[in-house]
Chain A
Amino acid sequence: MRHLLSTKDLSREDAILILDTAGEMAKTQERENRKLPTLRGKTVVNLFFEDSTRTRTSFEVAAKRLSADVINFSAKGSSVAKGESLKDTAQTLQAMGSDGVVIRHSASGAAARLATSGWISSAVVNAGDGTHQHPTQALLDAFTIRRHLKGGEAGEGLDGLTVAIVGDVLHSRVARSNVWLLTTLGAKVVLVCPPTLVPIGAETWPVDIVHSLDAALNGYAIDALMMLRIQLERMTGGGAAFFPSPAEYTRLFGLDGSRLARLPQHTIVMHPGPMNRGLEISAEAADSPRSVVVEQVGNGIAVRMAVLYLLLAGEEVA
């Protein structure tokens, strides 16, 4: 692996290697001294063109726990705001000696452009590109599911499990990343969303698609239920709204106490955060013992440590 751009590029072996490595990383995080010397002398740049304190902080913590130097470069107040191109920004950071670039950008494909255009030679980690991919989110989701439902055993996939992803699939890089990763790992994926929020073309994906949460609860034995964030301003504005009202969305797709009660006992409830309580998920569901939302955050650090380790330490090992 040279870059991590999309979960669609990951083989089952690659994906399991990352999850197993993340498992090792998680163990080191239980020690008193959680810092590893692995990436000492390496520089990781967090290149964030979109605000995302959560993801940026997670990558920063992961890199620092591996003893890498971290440069946070955010678009706000930088030369990007003055119209500097992605190419110039990337080359500037490369000139400052970056070994790895973690990029978050509003344009789908921005990470791929950085990795393949010949602008820079650093390893590139996609931390979310437009509505395309957010591979470390899917990896931390898979890691969390494996821990809860497969005992977290090294070498295991997600064979035999059913994961339902509920919400705005059309605009979701989390959904796209999970579709490919979870199916590669052997899980069955069910997308639960209004027809207006399914991309044309998704009918060719290796998933089932249903149009109400009740239909999903009735039709499938769901092992993990993943609620996506609904961006309210996008969803209900003007004549091009994707559904008639927030209340109607909640009625058809929201996870409330009664729907929660219909899930099998072992089923976990996930959310990539930040949650809209009362819209896609009720407080009762968000705070229930089945919710692993907080654990997802912690697992994010272990997964990102694994990815940085595999991309940046690999050269010296080999």
Chain B
Amino acid sequence: MSATTTPLVITGVSLYGDTTADLVIAKGEIVSLSAADAPAKARTLDGKGLVALPGLVDLHTHLREPGKEAAETIETGSRSAAAGGYVAVHAMANTTPVADSAGVVEQVWNRGREVGLVDVFPVGAVTVGLAGEHLAELGAMALSAARVRVFSDDGMCVHDPVVMRRALEYVKTFDGVIAQHAQDPRLTEGSQMNEGIVSAELGLAGWPAVAEEAIVARDCLLAEHVGSRVHILHLSTSRSVEIVRWAKARGVTVTAEATPHHIALTDDNARGYDARFKVNPPLRTQEDVEAVHAGIVDGTIDVIGTDHAPHADEDKDCEWAAAAFGMIGLETALGVVQKTLVETGKVTWRDVARLMSEEPARIGRIEGHGRPLAAGEPANVTLVDPKRAWSVDPAAMASRSHNSPFGGMELPGRVVATILRGTVTYADESMRGSLA
């Protein structure tokens, strides 16, 4: 047993930002909320001023391995996740080869376990090669050691309505969910950024909001028709929020995700043509950002997912049209959420626990995550210092890539330690003395 797994007592920490207690952690579990129950040899950490959340779970991570190890590997991505407070990530299927078979998802699953910093849950592709034509062997992936429950062609839309219908129906067998990248391909051919005032001026081909909304509406109706679960990835427009709100009111089993960048940035950031701001779906307008906030506040949007999308420098340090879509986000997600939603009074830390841990774990049907901070539960804990402001420096990140749109931004708080089943997987410099 390494030093990091000896019993640990965190005293006087604020659970969910609202209840002060101690966390006594031993043998991978939270054994008590009172330091009086601490084992004799436990290390003690003064938790005063810190907020404890159930370990964060990301439903939307690109780890790039296999295939694009120059941008990220399962190891560097796991390190990045731990540094961001995550104890579990869902690794998207758009790797090379595509994660569309039991063999590939098991490879990712096994490599995640070898690294051991976060639980890596592979997402299975919906269609063979993400081509949108033939269903991949979803059952084989579900029954594999990786136990896949989330299926997505993310990066591509499952645009054929018949293929989407079949996929929704098929995953009912094992209580799976289809996570849709909602983008009508025909309406977005060659598109570069949100279609609107800024694209008109910049002369960049527009990605109209309706290309997302039409698919969101169709898939909510399909899910209702066949009685299946559908999850909308990176929902970005105000009318997408309205459509999901309407569908939920009808009782459709739809869940939705917002990303940190879509709640914090707008298409105005594209002025200057800095490709760090190029992402798919694109950054939208201030009105859209506010609608997404409202959707988070009223529960229309269920989770915050990072869409962590690492790219090598050369794929961003170029003209806009030649640049890749995507941004890294694991290490800034919680700080951005604090800045845009918590500090503004829109959500509480308890809501953050729901949006970034409990609901992602529930939607992904993963066991042992998103559990309450209570005695007898797995010791998956994210410790946040909400007053430890920092300036984002992409070069200092654990991710192998540097394509953060938040470089230079001040964030109000940061993750100071991450604990996965009692093991400290990340501790920042303020914690290392206590947790080494």
Contact = CB atoms under 8 A, between A and B. Distances in A.
Contact of B208 (A86, A112, A200): A200
B197 A204 contact: yes
Interface string A175-201: 010000000000000000000000111
Q: Would you list the 8 A-B pairs with minimal beta carbon distance, nearest first? A: A201-B200, A109-B273, A132-B203, A131-B203, A199-B200, A107-B319, A201-B197, A107-B321
B200 A85 contact: no
A4 to B, nearest CB: 16
A113 B320 contact: yes
Nearest to B209: A200
Given A199-B199, A201-B197, A201-B198, A113 B319 contact: yes
A8 B200 CA distance: 13
A116 interface: yes
SS class, residues of chain B in contact with chain A: loop
Interface string A73-105: 000000000000111000000000000000001
B195 A109 contact: no
Interface in B170-220: 189, 192, 195-206, 208
A132 B202 contact: yes
A201 B319 contact: no
Nearest to A239: B186
Contacts of A205: 200
B320 A109 contact: yes
Nearest to B273: A109
Contacts of B273: 108-109, 112-113
Given A112-B273, A116-B272, A199-B206, A107 B200 contact: no
Interface in B309-335: 314, 317-322
B294 to A, nearest CB: 24
Contacts of B201: 8, 176, 201
A254 B197 CA distance: 28
B196 A87 contact: no
B402 to A, nearest CB: 15
A202 interface: yes
Interface residues of A, number: 28
Contacts of A129: 203
A87 B316 CA distance: 11
A86 B203 contact: no
Interface of A: 8, 85-87, 105-110, 112-113, 116-117, 129-133, 173, 176, 199-202, 204-205, 240
Interface residues of B, number: 24
A110 B197 contact: no
30 contacts: A86-B319, A105-B319, A108-B192, A108-B202, A108-B203, A108-B273, A108-B320, A108-B321, A109-B203, A109-B273, A109-B319, A109-B320, A109-B321, A110-B319, A112-B272, A113-B273, A113-B318, A113-B320, A116-B272, A130-B204, A131-B204, A132-B202, A173-B203, A176-B201, A176-B203, A199-B200, A200-B196, A201-B195, A201-B200, A201-B201
Interface of B: 189, 192, 195-206, 208, 272-273, 314, 317-322
Nearest to A129: B203
A110 B323 CA distance: 12
A182 to B, nearest CB: 15
Contacts of A86: 318-319, 322
Most chain A CB within a 10 A radius of its CB, from B200, B206, B208, B318: B200
Contacts of A106: 321
B196 A109 contact: no
Contacts of B208: 200
B314 A201 contact: no
B35 to A, nearest CB: 53
A92 to B, nearest CB: 15
A201 B203 contact: no
Most chain B CB within a 10 A radius of its CB, from A87, A107, A110, A116: A107
A116 B318 CA distance: 12
Contacts of A240: 189
A117 B274 CA distance: 8
A106 B317 CA distance: 17
Given A86-B319, A109-B202, A200-B195, 19 more contacts: A105-B319, A106-B321, A107-B321, A108-B273, A109-B319, A112-B272, A113-B319, A113-B320, A130-B204, A131-B203, A132-B204, A176-B201, A176-B203, A199-B199, A200-B200, A200-B206, A201-B200, A205-B200, A240-B189
Nearest to B193: A108
B204 A108 contact: yes
A117 B272 CA distance: 10
Given A201-B195, A204-B197, A133 B318 contact: no
